[in-house]
A and B are shown apart, each in its own frame.
Chain A
Amino acid sequence: MSLQEHETKHIHDTIKRKLTKTELQIIAAEWSEHCSYKSSKKHLKMLPTVGPNVIVEKGYDSGVLDVGGGYVVTVHIESHNHPSAVEPFGGAATGVGGVIRDILSAGTRPIAILDGLRFGDIENDTHARWLFKNAVSGIANYGNCLGIPTIGGEVEFDDCYSGYALVDVAAIGFGKKNRLIKNHATNGDLVVLIGGSTGRDGIGGSQFASDSLENEDRSAVQIPDPFIEKLIIEAILEARNEKCINAMKDLGGGGLSCAISETAESLGIGIELDVNKVHTRESGLLPDEIMISESQERMLLITSKQKLVKLKQICDKFRITCSTIGHVKNDKMMHVTKAKKTLALLPAEFVARAPLLDRKKTKPKYLMKIKKEYKIKNTLDYTKTILKLLSSPNIASKHWVFSQYDHEVGIRTVVKPGVDASVLRLDNGKFLSAKIDGNPKHCYLDPRQGAIGCFEEACRNIVCCGTNPIGMVDHLQFGNPENPEIFWTFIESLEGLTEYAKFLRIPCVGGKVSFYNETPSGPIKPTPLIGVLGISDKTPFLSEHPSNGDYLIIIGVTNDELGGSEYFEYIQKFIGGICPVVDFKDSKSNMLAVLSLIENKLVKSVHDCSKGGMSIALSELGIFGNIGCDVDIEKVPCKKNLSSEKILFSESHSRYLLVINKKNIDSAKKFLNRKKISFAILGKFSGDQINIRRKSKNLVKFKIDLGQKRYFNGLGDLLKHG
């Protein structure tokens, strides 16, 4: 068990008696870092969480945003890192299942999944490749079966994840505002457990996830069953329509212990439950095992006696088990019995509120050692470099991944995966976009600027499809928080995100913190992952491919910021340099300018500059549009005179490439000049070659079909061979 000395003392001082074994198990599960957020909770308060569209209710596990017309969008993000590192198929699949149930808990139908996957170097590390392939299969297997489209995400490979896996899943729900579950309960209401049976899988999963990954504890990994989850979704939505649900919570980390104590605490009620009433997968399960098992596809409902019959009818229709395991009392106690014998009797609030910690933080030593400068030994051939980057696992098309996910089911996906962000149509006539972004390479060099950069990148992608950012979710993933150096990186990232969220007035509507992402070879790089939702009230922006004679414009300033770039890390094998920094003012004005140009139909398509820099972004435009481009980088807006290498590969933020038809070029220029936006016309689309020059000096020249081959086959080819 994972209770610390000060926690044992706190228990002793408060309860003033020796705890039973069951009580200790319950507390250990609930007070694990994974469930209690004891290291992070104090600090998370700094994030702005309110806004005109944010709906706050008791006991929600997901963020709720009012999108107008009587409809709401819900969103949540979670990870399943430890389990996925041990058993990638099941770990990733149950990661999807868990976050889907959080969306369902609010009474909304899940309508989309996004996933962020991170593994070691799949080019050289066959174990990483195995993890990657199986995690993708697990997500596909689960999400496809549920009929929830996986509409986007990101995949990244870095040595810091070798022997490990980050599997982050974000889910989006949609529903009528008046059908949201307003969690409430009164004395005598019944506590019902529906769905999958409780078994020995996932025993102590939350504690397993609250320590570094040293041994592969398979019993702590849960087993997925998407079919039961699908039945639960339909049954619950039917029960919601029949008003059978007073309150609802999914069973995730910490199993019943967590669901019962947190529900009781948030509603200010007491709950008495009998472990004998819980439907189990096998006989002989111990009460403690029942209380902390993390078997999947289970939901805890509170219903009234009058509504139980209807609820049972609905469950019977879908052939899912529904057990009345207890009832609501008004004593605010969590009371666990086995028949008449009391196994645990604790104040719910005491269980649900672990003593919070003040972790120490110090600036990591590695940061002092990082070299800011890099003397490039020999100038590489830029054409070869760009082609190599186009086929590199971090940049190449992720078609191999998303073609295994059903991204069309639900018939909402107006803009399909593979571009900046996917766009869904909503029943109120509006359009919703969603994107998640992370960048551990930047965050390693500067956790604050790196985190802000991830946030900005997600916003940029949302803006590229003509939608306005309306809310964000964050998933903060770090190593062991007991290490002050790691804790410092956590605080830096959090502060950065807070600063940017406040500046842009984007509320943080949900999130998760995941610590202890470590293996015996060390901690992962700081990996905050930011998800942003955007909305467009009007017609969706369906971008058009460039055609002959169209202009290419760059918006935004390129800086001397090669640090953490794919060019430094993948090509030069150098970790260091200056991490890109977001200029808040530029960031906002550039976003507004792009949105305005889209709204006024002056642009055909927009693409942001991110991984690989401007050279990759413009190659991608040509590759997608199957057309060449002739570009002169001399006029690219820069703070100071930069080398060609820096202009081509620097990953400076707030930059967009715009494709503009000849007839609109003057209006677009006029608009950008009036708004005092830094921009330049880079060149024109034509032919079948990407040509990049600096004045008269040729830098890059390759045929589009070669670029396409590299870009579209890069990842697939790698995975074909083992």
Chain B
Amino acid sequence: MCINFIGEIIIKIVKVGVIVFPGSNCDRDMFHVLSDVFHLNTKYYWHEKGLPDNIDAVILPGGFSYGDRLRAGVIAANSPVIDDVKKLANRGIPILGVCNGFQILVESNLLPGVLLKNESLNFMCQWTNLIVKNNKTPFTNKLKLNQKIPIPIANGEGRYYADPQLLRDLRQHDQIVFTYENYVNGSLEQIAGICSEDGNVVGMMPHPERAAERLLNPIDNKPSSLIFESLLTTIGVKN
């Protein structure tokens, strides 16, 4: 909401929603990057509230929803907001899950496969390189195929696994979006991010919101910022 020069209240259309679950802890980081760096009209949505129909994109941020109890993401996958996310996903609205958000998307069957404990059995926080394997999703369309993205990971359960049939399907439908350049955590085929068959739902373990600003990225922030610029292009915001 803002006020114009003659004092009328103008309600701007909410463009991007960041869902907040109990225990989300990258919600504020994601919000900052979307609104302050890429100037998107961004709003938080508490997990018990519904999402508006006219939303343009939804982000499920990282963190420890419900303290990772039972299994990362499994409780949040049963939150009321997930029904709305599913409806929006079916309508083709771009949806991105980062880290815990990816885990929630997997647990709610919006994305296939599972995320297991890292091979080291430890939480891992380190910088790594991603390779773009699908540049047709709403979050990768400004990146080049096989482009390198320097980006940090920070997770304990980030090892992607799929059974052989599913892996064949993923390949067939071009659902592998990002792979790690090097061996990181034992992820199957070095998979770091995937998308739905339609491509509008994307999940990734690394944190693009931590890598899109020059000050925070010791290597190169441009590739990560292209993830957000892809979204801007997709939802029709000129930059």
A403-B125, A406-B123, A411-B32 known; A318+B215 contact, CB < 8 A: no
* B 16-33 binary contact with A (CB < 8 Å = 1; else 0): 000000110110110011
Say yes or no for B220: interface residue by CB 8 A criterion. Answer: no
B25/A147 in contact, CB under 8 A: yes
Q: Is the CB of A147 within 8 A of B26?
A: yes
Instruction: Say if the beta carbon of A144 comes within 8 Å of chain B.
Output: yes
Q: Which of B22, B26, B125 is A319 in contact with, Cβ under 8 Å?
A: B22
For A404, list chain B residues within 8 Å (CB).
122-125
A150 → chain B, closest Cβ, in Å?
9
For the complex, give the distance between the alpha carbons of A408 and B128 in Å: 13
Q: Which of B68, B156, B215 contacts A425 (CB under 8 A)? A: B215
Looking at A147, A404, A407, A416, which has the most chain B CB atoms within 10 Å of its CB? A147
A139 to chain B, nearest CB (A): 10
A540: Cβ under 8 A from any B Cβ:
yes
B162 within 8 Å of A (CB atoms):
no
Q: Is the CB of B23 within 8 A of A405?
A: no
Q: In the bound complex, what is the Cα–Cα distance between A409 and B46 (angstroms)?
A: 20
A595→B124 CA distance, assembly (Å):
34
In angstroms, how far is the closest chain A Cβ from the Cβ of B226?
A: 18
Within 8 Å by CB of B216, from A144, A227, A411, lies: A411
0/1 string, A200-225, CB within 8 A of B gives 1: 00000000000000000000000001
B52 at the interface (CB under 8 A from A): no
B186 to chain A, nearest CB (A): 16
- By the criterion CB–CB under 8 Å, are A230 and B213 in contact? no
Q: Which residues of B contact A319 (CB under 8 A)?
A: 22
Instruction: Flag if A230 contacts B215 (CB, 8 Å).
Output: no
Docked CA distance A95–B21 (Å): 26
User: Cα distance A317–B22 when bound, in Å?
Assistant: 9
Q: Which of B26, B33, B64, B213 contacts A145 (CB 8 A)?
A: B64
Q: Judging by beta carbons under 8 Å apart, are B33 and A411 in contact?
A: yes
**Binary flags per residue of A394-419, CB closer than 8 Å to B gives 1, else 0:** 00000000111111111101101000
- Within B105-159, which residues are at the interface with A (CB < 8 Å)? 122-126, 152, 154, 156
Per a CB cutoff under 8 Å, which of A144, A414, A425 touches B123? A144
Contacts of B45 in A (CB 8 A): none
Check A408 against B32 for contact (C-beta < 8 Å).
no
Is B125 a contact partner of A407 (Cβ separation < 8 A)? Answer: yes
Cβ contacts under 8 Å, A409 to chain B = 25-26, 29, 62, 154, 210
Task: Report the count of interface residues on B (CB-CB < 8 A).
Answer: 31
Query: Who on chain A is nearest to B121 by CB?
Result: A137
Inter-chain contact A406/B154, CB cutoff 8 Å = yes
Let me know if B69 is at the binding interface, CB within 8 A. Answer: yes
CB distance from A314 to the nearest CB of B (A): 12
Q: Are B215 and A147 in contact (CB under 8 A)?
A: no
Q: Chain A contacts of B123 at CB under 8 A? A: 140-141, 144, 404-406
Q: Kindly identify, within residues 25 to 53 of chain B, every residue whose CB is under 8 Å from any CB belonging to chain A.
A: 25-26, 28-29, 32-33, 46
Contact B154 A227 (CB under 8 A): no
Q: How far is the CB of A345 from chain B (nearest CB, A)?
A: 40
Closest to A407 in B: B125
Decide: B213 and A411 in contact? CB cutoff 8 A: yes
Taken together as a complex, chains A and B put the C-alpha atoms of A144 and B64 apart, in Å, by 8
Distance between Cα atoms of A403 and B126 in the complex (Å) = 6
A410 and B67 in contact, given A404-B122, A404-B125, A416-B218 (Cβ under 8 angstroms) = no
The answer to whether B209 has its CB under 8 Å from any CB of chain A is yes
List, in ascending order, chain A residues with CB within 8 A of B207's CB: 408
Closest approach, in angstroms, between the C-beta of B16 and any C-beta of chain A? 17
Q: Which B residue's beta carbon lies closest to that of A145? A: B64
Which of chain A's residues have a CB closer than 8 A to the CB of B26?
Answer: 147, 409
- Chain B interface (Cβ within 8 Å of chain A)? 22-23, 25-26, 28-29, 32-33, 46, 62-64, 66-69, 122-126, 152, 154, 156, 207, 209-210, 213, 215-216, 218
A-B contacts, 24 of them at CB < 8 A, read A137-B122, A144-B123, A145-B23, A145-B68, A147-B26, A147-B63, A147-B64, A227-B66, A227-B69, A231-B23, A318-B22, A402-B125, A403-B122, A404-B125, A405-B125, A406-B125, A408-B154, A408-B207, A409-B210, A410-B28, A411-B32, A411-B33, A411-B216, A540-B215
In order of increasing CB-CB distance, the 7 nearest A-B pairs are A147-B25, A227-B67, A145-B64, A411-B29, A406-B154, A408-B210, A406-B125
